[in-house]
Structure 1
Amino acid sequence: MKKRLLMAALVAWLWGNQAAAQDCLKTEALVALDARYETALQRGDADFLQTLLAAEFYWVHNLASLKEDKAALIARVKQPTEQAKQRRSHDITAQRLGNTVVLQGLSSVDKWNDDGKTYRTSRYQFMRTYVAVEDECKLLAVQTMKVWSSDSQ
């Protein structure tokens, strides 16, 4: 009898953890988490990125001009060469297969010009792959491609 109760408790605990992980993959929750990722990049929140990024994280930037793993990205946000005025994602869609969701959309990044009064915007098409691991979602991979930029505003 004790074995059955122990097994039932273990199954309930495993199912509960799986349900929690699956909740983070719901589109609304994942888009909110992804917005926190954009804010962390803008503000240099290395602690949040340390938690969010999978150990195997990899980012391929525009035309493979830069490739970063988790350690490289965290080092870069700790020592930014330039602070973005604003980062925002929009026109986001989600594709899910099992415990993996790929968000795709556009990310607009505003950066100050040298005059400190005007800014320029770069828009990137992105794909970000999130995976449910144990009881949380981890960002596994990012690919971005610049699709538009302004001169200044």
Structure 2
Amino acid sequence: MLKSLLFILVMLTGLSSGSLAQTSKEDLLHLDKGWENALLRSDVEFLENLVADDFIWVHNHAGLIDGKEAVLSRAKRIQNGQQDDTRNRISRDQQVVILGSTGVVSGYTVVDRGPSPTTYHFMRTYTWTASGWKLLGNHTMAIPEEELK
């Protein structure tokens, strides 16, 4: 009986590791683009499934630090009719690094809220769980106009 339980445990561990091993940088990049799209469209279901319960988002210069509930609350308010001035979000120059069960995506996002777009540098940390990748941390920093030239 004990041998059977150990065998099952080893097999399950191998299967979950195999799933992670099959995840490519392109898969994680695609998921990260989904994050941007979900923020733009206030897709509550996508955000609920992606964001880890202990998620931390450090906004520009730590002027705001919030978590999963804040992200979901904002998306729900917008879905319920609250004005949202975000017109577009476009990511560029993304880099993906995967080490063990941790993935990091960094790059730039241009957020158009008018009158002129703001460029942010971001670094998001994902962790592999039994249910796939979860977004654990996000750090965003506005890039001053003069540094973009």
Q: 2:101 aligns with which of 96, 99, 102?
A: 99
1:144 paired residue number: 140
1:75 paired residue number: 73
Instruction: Assess if the C-alpha contact under 8 Å between 1:128 and 1:143 holds in 2.
Output: yes
Instruction: Assess if the C-alpha contact under 8 Å between 1:22 and 1:132 holds in 2.
Output: no
TM-score normalised to structure 1 length: 0.82
Which has the larger displacement, 8-17 or 86-95?
A: 8-17
1:116 paired residue number: none
Q: 1:40 aligns with which of 38, 41, 44?
A: 38
1:124 paired residue number: 120
Greater relative contact order: 1 or 2 (C-alpha under 8 angstroms, separation 6 or more)?
1
Distance 1:77 1:83, change over 3 A: farther
Q: Which runs of 5+ in 1 are unaligned?
A: 114-119
Q: RMSD of the alignment, in Å? A: 2.1
Instruction: Assess if the C-alpha contact under 8 Å between 2:57 and 2:65 holds in 1.
Output: yes
2:10 paired residue number: 11
Distance 1:34 1:62, change over 3 A: same
TM-score normalised to structure 2 length: 0.84
Greater percentage in helix: 2
| Count of residues in correspondence between the two structures | 142
Cα distance between partner residues in 2 of 1:66 and 1:149: 21
Letter in 2 for 1:62: N
Report sequence identity in percent.
34
Greater percentage in strand: 1
